[in-house]
Amino acid sequence: MSGRTIIPFGPQHPVLPEPIHLDLVVEDEKVIEAIPRIGFIHRGLERLVEKKDFIDFVYVAERICGICSFIHGMTYCLAVEEVMKIEVPARAQYLRIVWSELSRIHSHLLWLGLTADAFGFESLFMQSWRLRELILDIIEETTGGRVIFGSAKVGGVRRDISAEKMQEIVKKLRSYQKEMDDIGKVFLGDLTVQHRLRGVGVLSTASAKALGAVGPMLRASGVSSDIRMMGYSSYGTLDFAPIVEQDADCYARCKVRIRELDQSVGLIESAASKMIDGPIDVKVTGTPNGEFFARSEQPRGEVIYYAKGNGTKFLQRMRVRTPTFANITPLLETLKGCQLADVPVIVLTIDPCISCAER
């Protein structure tokens, strides 16, 4: 039996576009332990609240992460609106749902592509990203941006989507759904793909709960938890249920995300049908005084925004707990005992967004 070796993984490596460093302790090809080192992209933006006022800070919050930017901006707004007791108009709430779900679809397609790349299925990677571009087109048509939307604001949203445009979007999404199904079939049905995903990186229900996993990682381990069910921003008026899988391996996590693509299209459709004419924002007067924890469901899981105001236009404290940070501990657990060659796939199945995690 050979001794233990430490293999450094990252921060610059071809699997992820983002820097994370893992020291992999291996015995032959088997990973015994993974020791993370994070902080390569720490910016310290929580303290920017001292320099940018609470209205301007939405722009910073959106740039915590470029993939789920809208939901970051929106959750920050939810926190400040609750502190200031602002009632957001119904139309704005449904518009927020539409953009949130569009970000979820594009984020999941991005993840599917990166995962295909991690297990070496290059054409599937390209197909997923081709489909993602079509979603980005809808986003660009409605917000003007491809990755940073700039649509959320305290008190509502900045842009409206007309009824005709909304119908067109729903129609387009319906037609893309077929293409998503086609890609989904390859991910879930292809023998070689299953060989790479099934039984790899198992996280038991008990450890998922104990280690505080969130999002698809948690739902794939058989726990029914989705923050959208708490009903923020009118999600409570829509009819849906968390998507849960029992297998707890990489395959289950892939399946959860593929099923969520369908769910998101459905949510956009029902949000469109409930949208009534009306204002899209309210005038914001005064300054925040008080504190609030806002929670929302990102493509990667639960994000928490804590905002504390002291009656000035600068918040006293702002804190973010991001899903990737919560999922790093479960990731280390799933890496134990895996083959070295499976590390990229397992790291990807938490859908790591390091810039969120380190801010």
Partner 1 sequence: MGALSKSPWIIHYDGSSCNGCDIEVLAALMPRFDLERFGVINTGNPKHADILLLTGSINEQNKSVVKNIYDQMPHPKVVVAVGICATSGGIFRECYNVQGGADKVVPVDFYVPGCAVRPEALIDAAVAAVALLDKKRDAMKAGKA
- Binding of residue 129 to partner 1 (CB under 8 A): yes
- Report cis status (omega within 30 of 0) of the bond before 11: yes
Residue 47: DSSP 8-state = G
- Binding of residue 14 to partner 1 (CB under 8 A): yes
Residue among 11 and 89 whose Cβ is closer to partner 1: 11
- Least Cβ distance, residue 344 to partner 1 (angstroms): 11
- Least Cβ distance, residue 198 to partner 1 (angstroms): 27
- Binding of residue 40 to partner 1 (CB under 8 A): yes
How are strands ordered across the β-sheet holding 289-298? 289-298, 301-310, 315-321
CB 301, CB 323: distance < 8 Å: yes
Which residue's structure tokens are 């804190």?
A: 319
- Binding of residue 248 to partner 1 (CB under 8 A): no
- Binding of residue 182 to partner 1 (CB under 8 A): no
Q: Token pair of 22, please? A: 């893992």
Among 147, 186, 223, 340, binds partner 1 (CB under 8 A): 147
**Which of 305, 331, 350 lies closest to 64 in space, CA to CA?**
305
- Binding of residue 69 to partner 1 (CB under 8 A): yes
Among 29, 133, 141, 182, binds partner 1 (CB under 8 A): 133
Sign of the Cα torsion 275, 279, 280, 281 reads negative
Residue among 271 and 344 whose Cβ is closer to partner 1: 344
Sign of the Cα torsion 115, 118, 120, 123 reads positive
Residue among 15 and 284 whose Cβ is closer to partner 1: 15
CB 68, CB 107: distance < 8 Å: yes
Q: Token pair of 184, please? A: 């989904």
- Binding of residue 319 to partner 1 (CB under 8 A): no
- Binding of residue 3 to partner 1 (CB under 8 A): no
Residues contributing to the site for partner 1 (CB under 8 A): 11-15, 17-19, 39-45, 47-48, 51, 59-60, 63-67, 69, 110, 126, 129-130, 132-133, 136, 145-148, 353-356, 358
